[in-house]
Amino acid sequence: MNSSRIGRSRTNNDGRRIERRTFLSVVGAGGAALLTRGLNAEQRTLARKPNVIIIVADDLGYADVGFNGCTDIPTPNLDSLAQNGVRFAEGYVTCPICSPSRAGLLTGRYQQRFGHEFNPSLETEAEAFGMPLDQITIAAMLKNAEYATGMVGKWHLGLKPEYHPLRRGFQEFYGFLQGAHSYVNLRKTDRYPILRGTEPIDEPEYLTDAFTREAVAFIDRHSTDPFFLYLTYNAVHTPMQAPQKYLDRFPNIAQTKRRTYAAMLSAMDDGIGAVLRKLRDNGLDQDTMIFFFSDNGGPIYVNSSSNLPLNGAKGTVYEGGIRVPFLFQWQRRLPRGTVYKNPVSTLDIFATVAAAAGAEVPRDRKMDGVNLMPYLLGWKRTQPHEILFWRVGDMNAVRKGNWKLARKGNALVFLFDLATDMGEQKNLAKERPDILRELNAAFKAWDAELVPPLWFPAPPKPAPSAPAP
């Protein structure tokens, strides 16, 4: 790699040259304070902790972004993240439904370890539901590491005051607390209003545009501090609503729902572009870690999304429910335009960010993610995860290497070789009983570590999907 790709170098007070990329790779968790003592002001600025932005789409289809081959909905700003960073070809979430997926992301732990296994029903959401208070979020971790922390968008981890984002490590919040929300005609008198902090407000803008506005303003307010922004669009989740200015971009999409879906996605892509421009304008684009992914696969018959060539959809443990568009850009550190082909998980974001920020990872509990940087930079040649697990009630799945077990109860058991069958069309359970036994045993061992769910709503009804093999 030539020096222009690596970045600038500086000299410390005793004349030794310090190259920023090398500096950061040496620092690791907890070492920044020691290594920066001998640096002057300019060098301290160069060695500043990276900003962190996590952008989450809601119910986005695997095939509905340009970097995964979409042709009818342009996503130029998302594509630029892929061009300037790493695309995870096999990036997974921890659950095929919204709330548990977010709980796993924010804690770096399989959410079943603390009973957050299901989406709540409306009754549970209002009364008892919430991510347990003993769980440490990535926001709390970064706040303790002297980051400014802010959230814009959908929460879906509890309605009661003790579960509010401002009580879970976020210093600023703009958004809504429940699992879905209208995009238009938003009034503070609504049952579930838009909140600034804890105060209901009227919001005249289309909600996706409002979230973008607030995200850009947060970056402006904290451009001189290390910051963490959790930007969780509710696009492209129902209700299917889009202003005419976005609908007008897609006159050639005849199907009404697909056209609205395209307009909603285009609005979100515009918003991500505005965030990227604001980073560039403030000179922060090189030193900001940006993650993008969908919280689960697309519910294909609900919002007209597409997960092709994957089988399944939101609410299933087939690939279409749990493998999602997933990007990571950090221009100062990562090679550009890379496709990383080993399985990774949103669990890994916590550990990756902690290492880069020099933040303290909880040591009193099992953490399930890994720091991805050594793998992405080629320092480690093994896979980040030997095995990955999923469980939602009586649905569960295991992936080890290219083998995947998917099961619903005891009646439907499937074994796939994802190396040759990405679309999960050929069930090899009878042909490879040895692999089936191995994955079953692994799941049972993992399952024994988990706790019972904290609430028991009716299991989510999967969206119709491609038939199982």
Q: Of these residues, 70, 95, 116, 156, which one is catalytic?
A: 156
Helix, strand, coil % in the chain, rounded to nearest 5 = 30, 20, 50
Dig out the tokens for 110 from the structure.
Answer: 């399989």
The yes-or-no verdict on residue 36 having pLDDT over 70 is no
Rg (CA), the chain: 22
Q: Of these residues, 70, 95, 98, 181, which one is catalytic?
A: 98
- Note the pLDDT of residue 14: 35
- Residues linked to residue 272 through DSSP beta bridges, in sequence order: none
Identify the DSSP state of 360: P
The yes-or-no verdict on residue 345 having pLDDT over 70 is yes
- Note the pLDDT of residue 379: 95
Token pair 């040895």 is at which residue?
434
- Note the pLDDT of residue 7: 33
Average pLDDT over residues 190-207: 96
- Note the pLDDT of residue 462: 57
- Note the pLDDT of residue 410: 84
End-to-end CA distance of the chain: 46
0.85 exceeded by the pTM? Answer: yes
- Note the pLDDT of residue 56: 98
Name every residue whose Cβ is closer than 8 Å to that of residue 7 and which is 6 or more positions away in sequence. Answer: 19, 20, 21, 286, 332
Output b/e per residue, 258-275; b: 16+ Cβ within 10 A.
bbbbbbbbbbbbbbbbbb
Distance between CA atoms of 337 and 25, rounded to whole angstroms?
Answer: 21
Residues of the chain within CATH 3.40.720.10 domain(s) are 51-376
- Note the pLDDT of residue 57: 98
CB-based contact 124:105 (threshold 8 Å): no
Confidence of residue 48 (pLDDT cuts 50, 70, 90): confident
- Rama region for 245: left / alpha / beta (φ>0; ψ in -120 to 50; rest): alpha
Q: Give, in words, the CATH class of 387-447.
A: alpha beta
The yes-or-no verdict on residue 55 having pLDDT over 90 is yes
- Note the pLDDT of residue 125: 76
- Note the pLDDT of residue 352: 98
Q: How far are the Cα atoms of 14, 80, 314, 408 from residue 84, in angstroms, in the given order?
A: 35, 6, 29, 39
- Note the pLDDT of residue 465: 52
The yes-or-no verdict on residue 388 having pLDDT over 60 is yes
In tens, the pLDDT along 103-129 reads 999 999 999 999 999 998 777 777 779
Confidence of residue 434 (pLDDT cuts 50, 70, 90): very high
Q: How many CA atoms lie within 13 A of 266 on its CB side?
A: 20
In tens, the pLDDT along 281-325 reads 999 999 999 999 999 999 999 999 999 999 999 999 999 999 999
Token pair 């974001």 is at which residue?
349
The yes-or-no verdict on residue 9 having pLDDT over 50 is no
Distance between CA atoms of 274 and 262, rounded to whole angstroms?
Answer: 18
Does domain 51-376 correspond to CATH entry 3.40.720.10?
Answer: yes
Q: How far are the Cα atoms of 19, 232, 236 from residue 291, in angstroms, in the given order?
A: 25, 11, 18
More confident residue, 7 or 33: 33
C-alpha closest to that of 298 among 48, 63, 84: 63
Average pLDDT over residues 185-197: 95
Distance between CA atoms of 23 and 33, rounded to whole angstroms?
Answer: 12
C-alpha closest to that of 418 among 430, 432, 431, 403: 403
Annotation marks residue 156 as catalytic: yes
Distance between CA atoms of 72 and 252, rounded to whole angstroms?
Answer: 9
The yes-or-no verdict on residue 459 having pLDDT over 60 is no
Lowest mean pLDDT across 8-17, 47-56, 302-311? 8-17
- Note the pLDDT of residue 4: 30
Confidence of residue 42 (pLDDT cuts 50, 70, 90): very low
The yes-or-no verdict on residue 15 having pLDDT over 80 is no
Residues of the chain within CATH 3.30.1120.10 domain(s) are 387-447
In tens, the pLDDT along 326-338 reads 999 999 999 999 9
Q: Is 139 exposed, middle or buried (0-12, 13-18, 19+ CB in 10 A)?
A: buried
Annotation marks residue 98 as catalytic: yes
Confidence of residue 43 (pLDDT cuts 50, 70, 90): very low
The yes-or-no verdict on residue 369 having pLDDT over 50 is yes
Name every residue whose Cβ is closer than 8 Å to that of residue 310 and which is 6 or more positions away in sequence. Answer: 62, 63, 297, 318, 319, 320, 323, 422, 423, 424
- Note the pLDDT of residue 128: 79
C-alpha closest to that of 119 among 173, 59, 196, 165: 59
